[in-house]
Amino acid sequence: MSVYDQSIAVFLSPIKEFLADESVTEILINGPKEIWIERKGKLTLTDVQFHDETALQAAVRNIAQFVKRTIDQQNPQLDARLPDGSRIHAVLPPSARKGTTVAIRKFSKAADLTFEKLISFGSISPEGAEFLTLCVGLAKNIIVSGGTGSGKTTFLNLLGGLLPKDERLMVVEDASELQINAPHVVCFETKAADHEGKGQLTIRDLVRSAMRLRPDRIVVGEVRGAEALDLITVMNTGHGGSMGTTHANTPTDALVRLETLATMGDTTIPLAALRRQIAGAVHLVVQAKRLHDGSRKITNISEVLGVDEHGRYTTQDIFRFVQTGIADDHKILGSMQGMGIIPTFYEEIEVNGLSFDIAKFGKPPKPKYPKTTEALPVGGSAGSGAGSHSGSHAGSGAGSGAGAGNPTVAAAMAKLSPVQLQQLQAGAAKAGMTVQNYYTALLKQQAAKKAGNAA
């Protein structure tokens, strides 16, 4: 029995069974008399307790000593990694009002997690998994985004294990959590300053060192500070296939989050230039979410297209989780579906001799036309540009000049009431089309219905 196992047996005996139980993903201690566990995304109050506050603090201090950290009244917080890969965070009283508060988060072992298992859990579709496998092979830069407990780190572990076997991977983390299963991995962990305030190593320091150690790819476990700028620099300087995680609710929010974090340092880069660097560095954003039924799913696989003329990030969902309902047991029903959008780098898949059936990207969803209170006047033949998408904002140019590209359509649009024009602009924005092209599509739809009724 190792020293760590002996310590667990003595100091953490009340929760020893939960640490050994692989179905338990998190252990939450709210003082000595209140212990919760998480199974399958659901929290359950247990009946186990520590003897008193002194016994609980003794257990926490023992863990801190084992991982060479300090927790006391001068340093009332502990953030560390246990030898088995679990992450622990603790806060001492009086800040913790109920008593010493501890959270132990357990991670799936990298060797045990595969795309096949995630597919069987319904966390991702086979097509989405195959697409991401190709993207890792093509050295696309990927950001895994999501909230706390959404499975970002676990999924990054899986992506890291897909790296080519002949590449050198450098992993930089605040507290080591990643267990990437690859033959050539070098792991760095930050170091706090000593009692004299010396010897500190930050993520920024370690990223800069990693860049000088001949990496093929660099992974930053969690981007939550000014190191975002260093990761963007890594991605833009020939280290393709680099990855990281960040906290955000949508793919677009993830890019905004990186921008915000990058400006927290001493950078003097103009905001417009920084946005273009971020949009050029990140190729894909993978969004992970923990849904209200406790399940964890990949909800978006989005390609970053760039920055529009208004300075806003533009993305497009290649795959997206579509909810279809809720079961009687409150389990969310749905599946990941292709959005019918072919990524801009699809040609790279073909020229590299890789195979991915274009039909797996799915069919584009049908645009939802707005319901109008008044009939739209039909102004004659629809223009040739019907249905074509445009990168410009749908509402731009709406009004008197919205149909300037086609005189017939322009004349018909001039007869619209303000209410009809407002509804038209809203529908065009939802469909991602210009107002003129959207109106032309409506005219064709009306003509087809009339022809069907006449027949």
Task: Determine the topology of domain 110-361 in CATH.
Answer: Rossmann fold (3.40.50)
Nearest Cα to Cα of residue 255 among 235, 228, 273: 228
pLDDT for res 80 = 80
Residue extents of the structural domains in the chain: 3-105, 110-361, 367-455
Beta strand pairing call for 142-146 and 284-290: parallel
> pTM (2 decimals)?
0.73
Question: How would you list the strands of the sheet with 101-105, edge to edge?
Answer: 42-45, 35-39, 24-30, 101-105, 87-91, 77-81
Give the residues across from 42 on adjacent strands: 39
pLDDT for 108: 66
Angle of helix 418-431 relative to helix 435-454, nearest 10 degrees, comes to 100
Tracing tokens 């500190």 back to the chain, one arrives at 200
Q: Give the separation between CA 358 and CA 349, rounded to whole angstroms.
A: 11
The residue among 11, 293, 254, 32 whose CA lies nearest residue 143 is: 254
d(CA 320, CA 334): 10
- CATH code of the region 3-105: 3.30.450.90
Tokens standing for residue 276 = 């273009």
What are the pLDDT digits (tens) for 89-101? 999 999 999 999 9
- Using the structure block, give the residue that is written with the tokens 């990524």: 343
Q: Is the peptide bond before 367 cis (omega within 30 degrees of 0)?
A: no
Distant-in-sequence, close-in-space partners of 2: CB < 8 Å, separation ≥ 6: 83
What is the spatial distance between Cα 50 and Cα 12, in angstroms, rounded to a whole number?
9
Residue ranges of alpha helices (H) inside 123-250 are 126-137, 152-160, 203-211, 227-236
Quick: pLDDT tens for 250-274: 999 999 999 999 998 887 889 999 9
Three-state DSSP state, 306: strand
Residue 383 tokens read as 């223009």
pLDDT digits (tens, 9 = 90+) for 47-58: 999 999 999 999
User: 242: closest CA among 343, 335, 338, 139?
Assistant: 139
Residues 173 and 245: beta-carbon distance below 8 Å = no
Contact 160, 296 (CB under 8 A): no
Q: Check the CA dihedral 309-312-316-322 and report its sign.
A: negative
Tell me which residue of 36, 93, 85, 83 sits closest to 62, measured CA to CA. Answer: 83
Position 366 scores a pLDDT of 64
List C-alpha distances in Å: 222 to 174, 187, 261, 297: 8, 14, 12, 19
pLDDT in the model for residue 385: 41
Token output for 80: 């560390």
Beta strands in 106-200 (DSSP E): 142-146, 169-173, 185-189
Place of tokens 């659901």: 42
User: Do 3-105 and 110-361 show the same overall fold?
Assistant: no
Closest of 231, 226, 220, 235 to residue 261, by C-alpha: 226
For residue 266, the model assigns a pLDDT of 80
Question: What local confidence, expressed as pLDDT, does residue 254 receive?
Answer: 96
Tokens standing for residue 445: 């739809």
Average pLDDT for consecutive 10-residue bins of the chain (455 residues)? Answer: 68 87 91 92 91 92 83 88 82 93 80 83 94 95 93 90 91 84 89 82 92 94 90 91 95 96 87 94 96 91 94 95 90 92 92 90 68 46 40 40 60 74 76 79 76 64
Residues counted in the chain: 455
247 CA to centre of own chain: 7
Between the CA of residue 154 and those of 112, 167, 172, 180, 269, what are the distances in Å?
11, 21, 16, 10, 33
Query: Residue 332, exposed/middle/buried by CB under 10 A (0-12, 13-18, 19+)?
Result: middle
β-bridge mates for residue 269, sequence order: none
Contact present, 180 and 219 (Cβ < 8 Å):
yes
